[in-house]
Amino acid sequence: MKRNWTKKIPSLLFLFLILGIWQIATTAAQVPLWLFPSPAQIGAAFWETRQLIWMHTLTTLLETSAGFMLAVLLALITAGLMVLSSWFKRLLYPYLIISQTVPLIAIAPLLILWLGYGLLPKILIVVLVCFFPITVSLIEGLELTDTDLLNLLKSMGASRWQIFYIVRWPHALPSLFAGLKIAATYSVMGAVIGEWLGSSSGLGVYLTRSSHSFLTDRVFAVIFTISALSFLYFALITGLAKLAIPWTQIKNQDNG
């Protein structure tokens, strides 16, 4: 534990250095608040509006959590079917790639037009953002299983499902969690984009209102809140990974 904290010291020192330079530069140059606030002004704005930010944060958390869990469920089903059935993969994989060529900013207004301004379109936007990295990472992990081990189980008469459960799934867990980490960092952004385009509550709404009112200190406060939420989801996935695949942690410690 002590060693892990020691590794984080350089990053923390660099963060404090950046904040210190930022504070000194904005104070010395007397930069207007509406143009570029100092860290102290941002912190004060965050504290003054903490209840309002928390209210909007709850909405964004609900959208992000629901969309992320739904994306994980759909990714598990889709990736499993693609690996178990080559025909199913040939059918859907090209469309999976094509789905990422359509800009999210073009899809989001359509979802809001079709489904209204409630939570559902924002949840679906989060699903669209998270589904691809989780699915592709899981497919790659399931297909990178040791061929000799697969042939051994086949020679012993193991069924396709037994091979999937005994060999493919454990070997795919590191890839799955890698995809989950990527999706976790994008999930909050997806919810915020949906809120930008039409909503009555959420960090995206509060960010837009603050920007239009030239309350730049509040804009930065919301940006830091969004970043903190993304980091929180990433940290949760990292913690789950340590519980689910402890052997990779031991391997990393040995390499370190």
Interval 1-24: pLDDT, tens: 555 667 777 888 888 999 999 999
Question: What φ, ψ does residue 237 adopt, rounded to 5°?
Answer: -65, -40
* Count: domains in the chain: 1
In this structure, is residue 28 part of a structural domain? no
In this structure, is residue 225 part of a structural domain? yes
Residue 54 has pLDDT above 90, yes or no: yes
CATH number at residue 160: 1.10.3720.10
In this structure, is residue 253 part of a structural domain? no
In this structure, is residue 168 part of a structural domain? yes
Domain coverage including residue 135 = 49-247
pLDDT in tens, 111-168: 888 888 888 989 999 999 999 999 999 998 888 876 777 777 777 777 777 777 778 8
- Spatial distance between the Cα atoms of 40 and 27, rounded to a whole number of angstroms: 10
In this structure, is residue 256 part of a structural domain? no
In this structure, is residue 12 part of a structural domain? no
In this structure, is residue 141 part of a structural domain? yes
Counting beta carbons within 10 angstroms of the beta carbon of residue 102, is it exposed (0 to 12), middle (13 to 18) or buried (19 or more)?
A: exposed
- Spatial distance between the Cα atoms of 160 and 194, rounded to a whole number of angstroms: 41
